[in-house]
C-alpha cells in the first residue's frame, strides 16, 4: 500500500483489526493483517479468510513494532489476524511500567 | 491522532465500567462516548471556533473535552476563580465560542458578542439526551489543536498554551497502559479542570479504565471522607492540598484512607517536611512525585514509590536529598541542563532545564513554537541532574537573584532553610539593593512555638552555603501566599516583603 502517515487509521481487509499509525518510515510498505493488505479505515474491506499462518490475533491497546523499530502501530480494535510487514510479523512493544502520576 | 480515539478504545473494551462520577451523577465509559458524540453534533451546529468551559469539575468537563475533539474544536477550560476584567479578557481571546458554565455565570454572560452560553445542566442534558450519536468521523490529523490552556499568569498576562492531539495522545500512550487498571480501582480528582494535571487525569484514567471520582471544591475533610467512602485507590494532589490533608489527619486522629494505594503529587515544589509527615501518616500508600509543565502536556519526570522509600531510608545525604527531587525523566522524554550559552552541562551543575519528546508542545497562541534547534524546549525552570540522573528543580529562571553579577538560585537557599528544624515554610526572593543591584530576601514561617531569630537563620545559611547567599532581609510571616493549585505567589512575596 501507499506510504503511511502518523495519526492515520487502517483496518484489516479480512478481520476486525483496526490500528492507528504512531510512527512509520518513508516510502511504500507492504503492511498486512491476517495475511491480507490493510486498507484505509474508511474504505470497504475486501473480505476473505484470515491466512492461518497470520492468525495470532491483535490486542486492543497494544503497540506493535517492526524489527527496525521505525514502524509502530497502536491496535485500536482487536481481531483474529496478526500484523506483518513484507511477510515479517510485527512484535509486541514492551509496556514500560510507570508509577501512576495522575 | 485524536484524543477521541482514546475514549473510543475505552468504550469498546470497557464500555460498562463506570468512567466518572460526581456526587450522584455517574457515567459509564460507553455513556461518555455516546455523550461526547451528541455534544460534538451540538458544537458543530453552533458554528463556533472554540468549546470552552468555565465551571468546577463535573462530568461536563470530559464530555466537552472529548466532544470538542470529535467536532474538531480546541477545548478551552477557563479558570473559574477569575472574575471581571481578567476573565473578560480571556473570553474575548476565544470568540466565537460555545461556553458551558454554571447558572449564575450563564446569566451574567448571556448576550455577549461571540459567546453562546449553555448551562452545565443543559449541556449534560444534551449529552444524556436522545440525539443520534454521529459516526466516529473525527479528524485524525495529529496537528489539530486538542486543548488551549491558559497558564496561571503568576508572572504576567496569561499565555494560551497550545496542546495538539499529537501531544496529548503521545503523553497517554507513553505513560499509561491501556486497561491497565483493575475493575475496582478509583481515582479521586481534586485538581481543577483548568490545570493540565486535571486534563491529564481524565484522559489517563479513562484509558486505564480507572473510575474517576470528582471532588469539585477541595476541602481536606471532604477529600478524606470521599476517599474512604469510595474506596479510592489513586489520587493526585498539589502540595498545599497534601499539607492540609495531613493537618486534618493529625488533628482528627483518624487513620489514612484504607484503600489508597498510590498518592501522586505535583504542581509546585513540595517542602521536604510535608512529604516526610505524609509518609508517616500514609504508611500503606505509595508516593509518586510528578514534575511537568502545561507546555509539556503534564508529567515529564517522576520520583516513584521505590525512590521515595530508598531516599527515606538512606544514610548518605546525597541519596536522602533525592526525596526533594523530581525523580527521573519518563522513558519517552530527554532532559538536558544547559548554561546560558546553550552548552549542555555535566551532572551536578545548575542551568536551565531543557526537554524534548513527542508530548512536548512548547507553543503559545500568537507566539508560535518556542522549541529551539533539535526540537528542545527551554522550560525556563532552573535545576540540575545528579550523578544517577535524578532531576532537581530550583524554580523559574526569572526568579534567579542576580547579586553583583553572581546568579543565586532561590531554590538552593530555600532547600537549606527548609532543613532547619524551626522552619515550617519559606520563600526566597530578590530584593532591590543599591550596592549589588539585587540582594537576597527571605520570608520564613516558623514552626509553632519556635523562637528562632533572623540572625540564627542567616548564620545557618552562611554555614551551609556561601555568605553571599545569606538573606540580608529576613521576615517572619504566619503563612506564605499560594494560589489554589499550590504555586507560590513569588510576585506577592516580593511586593509585600518590607511592607509589613
What is the per-residue pLDDT across B157-203, written as a single tens digit (0 to 9) for each?
788 999 999 999 999 998 999 999 999 999 999 999 999 999 999 99
Using pLDDT thresholds of 50, 70 and 90, give the confidence band for residue B154: low
Look at residue A4 and tell me if it is in a domain: no
Average pLDDT over residues A93-97: 74
- pLDDT tens digits, one per residue of B364-389: 998 889 999 999 999 999 999 999 99
pLDDT exceeds cutoff 80 at B114: yes
- For A61, the domain range is 9-89
pLDDT at B169: 94
Using pLDDT thresholds of 50, 70 and 90, give the confidence band for residue B355: very high
A101–B305 CB contact, under 8 Å: no
Any A CB within 8 A of B58 CB: no
Residue B53 contacts residue B91 (beta carbons within 8 Å): no
Contacts A77 to B, Cβ<8 Å: 9, 12
Q: Which residue from A minimizes the CA distance to B191?
A: A102
Nearest to A60 among B9, B236, B266 (CB): B9
Using pLDDT thresholds of 50, 70 and 90, give the confidence band for residue B405: confident
Average pLDDT over residues B233-239: 94
- pLDDT tens digits, one per residue of B63-86: 999 999 999 999 999 999 888 888
Cis peptide leading into B229, omega within 30 of 0? no
Q: Count the domains in chain A.
A: 1
Look at residue A23 and tell me if it is in a domain: yes
Angle between helical axes of B60-71 and B29-46 (0-180°, round to 10): 60
B3-310: what fold? Rossmann fold (3.40.50)
**Long-range contacts (CB closer than 8 Å, 24 or more residues apart) made by A89-93:** A89/A54, A89/A56, A90/A64, A90/A65, A90/A66, A91/A64, A91/A65, A91/A66, A91/A67, A92/A59, A92/A62, A92/A63, A92/A64, A93/A62, A93/A63, A93/A64, A93/A65
Any B CB within 8 A of A93 CB: no
Using pLDDT thresholds of 50, 70 and 90, give the confidence band for residue B411: confident
Separation between Cα atoms, residue B185 and residue B261, nearest integer Å: 10
Residue B238 contacts residue B486 (beta carbons within 8 Å): yes
A7–B178 CB contact, under 8 Å: no
Q: Which residue from A minimizes the CA distance to B304?
A: A99
Look at residue A101 and tell me if it is in a domain: no
Element of type H or E holding B13: helix B3-14
Residue A101 contacts residue B175 (beta carbons within 8 Å): yes
pLDDT at A98: 74
Residue B198 contacts residue B191 (beta carbons within 8 Å): yes
Please state which CATH number belongs to domain B400-500. Answer: 3.30.300.30
Q: Which residue from B minimizes the CA distance to A98?
A: B175
Mean pLDDT across chain B = 93
pLDDT at B468: 86
Contacts B13 to A, Cβ<8 Å: 60-61
Using pLDDT thresholds of 50, 70 and 90, give the confidence band for residue B156: low
- pLDDT tens digits, one per residue of A4-59: 888 889 999 999 999 999 989 988 889 999 999 999 988 888 889 999 999 999 99
**Range from B152-156, B474-478, B492-496 that averages highest in pLDDT:** B474-478
Any B CB within 8 A of A1 CB: no
Distance from CA of B61 to the nearest CA of A (A): 16
- pLDDT tens digits, one per residue of B237-282: 998 899 999 999 999 998 999 999 999 999 888 888 888 899 999 9
Separation between Cα atoms, residue B74 and residue B81, nearest integer Å: 21
Contacts B140 to A, Cβ<8 Å: 7-9, 20
CA A101 → CA A56, B176, B186, B227, B406, distances in Å?
33, 9, 14, 17, 36
Look at residue A69 and tell me if it is in a domain: yes
Any B CB within 8 A of A26 CB: no
Nearest to B140 among A9, A62, A97 (CB): A9
pLDDT at B74: 98
CA angle A81, A84, A88 (to 5 degrees): 130
Distance from CA of A35 to the nearest CA of B (A): 24
Separation between Cα atoms, residue B343 and residue B337, nearest integer Å: 8
pLDDT exceeds cutoff 90 at B419: no
CA angle B485, B487, B493 (to 5 degrees): 140
Lowest model confidence (mean pLDDT) among B204-208, B209-213, B339-343: B339-343
Q: Which residue from B minimizes the CA distance to A75?
A: B9
CB contact set of A62 (below 8 Å; sequence gap of 6+): A74, A75, A92, A93, B178
Q: For residues B320 and B216, which has the higher predicted lDDT (pLDDT)?
A: B216
Cα of A54 vs its chain's centroid, Å: 12
Contacts B204 to A, Cβ<8 Å: 100, 102
Average pLDDT over residues B18-44: 98
B266–A9 CB contact, under 8 Å: no
- For residue A44, how many other CB atoms are within 10 A of its CB? 9
Look at residue A99 and tell me if it is in a domain: no
A98–B302 CB contact, under 8 Å: yes
Three-state DSSP at B156 gives: coil
pLDDT at B151: 83
pLDDT exceeds cutoff 60 at B500: no
Using pLDDT thresholds of 50, 70 and 90, give the confidence band for residue B228: very high
Instruction: Kindly list the domain boundaries of chain B, sorted by start residue.
Output: 3-310, 400-500
Contacts A98 to B, Cβ<8 Å: 175-176, 302, 304, 330-331
Interface ipTM above 0.95: no
| Residue tagged 476565544 (cell numbers) | B94
Separation between Cα atoms, residue B6 and residue A93, nearest integer Å: 18
Amino acid at each position: 500500500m501507499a506510504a503511511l502517515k502518523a495519526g492515520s487509521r487502517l483496518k484489516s481487509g479480512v478481520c476486525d483489526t483496526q490500528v492507528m499509525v504512531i510512527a512509520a518510515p518513508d516510502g511504500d510498505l507492504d503492511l498486512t493483517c491476517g495475511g491480507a493488505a490493510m486498507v484505509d479505515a474508511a474504505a470497504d474491506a475486501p473480505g476473505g479468510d484470515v491466512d492461518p499462518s497470520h492468525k495470532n490475533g491483535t490486542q486492543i491497546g497494544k503497540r506493535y513494532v517492526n524489527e527496525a523499530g521505525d514502524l509502530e502501530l497502536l491496535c485500536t480494535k482487536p481481531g483474529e489476524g496478526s500484523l506483518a510487514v513484507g511477510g515479517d510479523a510485527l512484535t509486541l512493544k514492551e509496556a514500560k511500567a510507570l508509577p501512576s502520576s495522575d | 491522532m485524536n484524543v477521541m480515539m482514546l475514549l473510543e478504545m475505552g468504550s469498546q473494551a470497557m464500555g460498562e465500567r463506570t468512567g466518572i462520577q460526581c456526587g450522584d451523577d455517574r457515567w459509564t465509559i460507553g455513556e461518555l462516548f455516546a455523550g461526547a458524540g451528541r455534544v460534538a453534533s451540538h458544537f458543530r451546529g453552533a458554528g463556533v471556533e472554540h468549546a470552552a468551559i468555565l465551571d468546577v469539575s463535573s462530568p461536563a468537563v470530559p464530555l466537552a473535552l472529548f466532544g470538542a475533539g470529535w467536532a474538531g474544536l480546541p477545548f478551552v477550560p477557563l479558570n473559574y476563580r477569575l472574575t471581571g476584567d481578567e476573565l473578560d479578557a480571556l473570553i474575548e481571546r476565544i470568540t466565537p465560542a460555545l461556553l458551558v458554565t454554571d447558572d449564575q455565570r450563564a446569566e451574567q454572560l448571556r448576550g455577549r458578542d461571540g459567546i453562546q452560553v449553555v448551562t452545565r445542566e443543559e449541556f449534560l442534558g444534551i449529552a444524556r439526551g436522545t440525539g443520534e450519536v454521529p459516526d466516529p468521523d473525527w479528524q485524525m490529523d495529529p496537528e489539530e489543536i486538542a486543548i488551549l490552556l491558559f497558564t496561571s499568569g503568576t508572572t504576567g498576562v496569561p499565555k494560551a498554551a497550545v496542546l495538539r492531539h499529537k501531544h496529548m495522545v503521545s503523553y497517554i500512550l507513553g505513560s499509561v497502559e491501556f486497561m491497565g487498571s483493575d475493575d475496582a480501582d478509583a481515582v479521586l480528582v481534586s485538581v481543577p479542570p483548568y490545570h493540565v494535571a486535571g486534563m491529564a487525569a481524565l484522559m489517563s484514567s479513562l484509558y486505564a479504565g480507572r473510575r474517576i471520582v470528582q471532588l469539585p471544591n477541595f476541602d481536606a475533610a471532604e477529600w478524606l471522607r470521599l476517599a474512604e467512602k469510595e474506596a479510592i485507590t489513586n489520587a493526585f494532589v498539589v502540595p498545599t492540598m497534601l499539607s492540609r490533608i495531613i493537618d486534618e489527619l493529625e488533628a482528627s486522629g483518624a487513620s489514612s484512607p484504607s484503600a489508597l494505594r498510590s498518592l501522586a503529587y505535583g504542581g509546585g515544589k513540595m517542602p521536604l517536611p510535608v512529604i516526610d509527615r505524609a509518609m508517616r501518616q500514609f504508611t500503606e500508600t505509595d508516593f509518586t512525585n510528578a514534575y511537568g509543565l502545561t507546555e509539556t502536556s503534564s508529567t515529564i519526570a517522576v520520583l516513584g514509590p521505590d525512590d521515595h522509600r530508598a531516599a527515606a531510608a538512606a544514610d548518605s545525604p546525597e541519596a536522602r536529598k533525592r526525596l526533594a527531587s523530581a525523580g527521573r525523566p519518563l522513558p519517552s522524554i530527554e532532559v538536558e541542563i544547559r548554561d546560558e550559552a546553550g552548552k549542555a552541562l555535566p551532572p551536578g551543575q545548575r542551568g536551565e532545564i531543557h526537554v524534548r519528546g513527542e508530548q512536548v508542545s512548547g507553543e503559545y497562541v500568537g507566539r508560535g513554537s518556542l522549541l529551539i534547534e533539535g526540537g528542545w524546549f527551554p522550560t525556563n525552570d532552573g535545576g540540575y541532574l545528579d550523578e544517577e540522573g535524578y532531576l532537581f528543580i530550583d524554580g523559574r529562571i526569572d526568579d534567579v537573584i542576580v547579586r553583583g553579577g553572581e546568579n543565586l538560585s532561590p531554590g538552593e537557599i530555600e532547600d537549606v532553610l527548609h532543613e532547619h528544624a524551626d522552619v515550617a515554610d519559606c520563600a526566597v526572593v530578590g530584593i532591590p539593593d543599591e550596592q549589588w543591584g539585587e540582594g537576597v530576601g527571605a520570608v520564613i514561617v516558623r514552626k509553632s512555638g519556635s523562637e528562632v531569630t533572623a540572625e540564627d537563620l542567616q548564620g545557618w545559611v552562611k554555614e551551609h552555603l556561601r555568605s553571599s547567599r545569606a538573606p540580608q532581609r529576613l521576615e517572619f510571616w504566619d503563612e506564605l501566599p499560594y494560589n489554589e493549585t499550590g504555586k507560590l505567589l513569588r510576585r506577592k512575596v516580593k511586593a509585600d516583603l518590607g511592607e509589613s
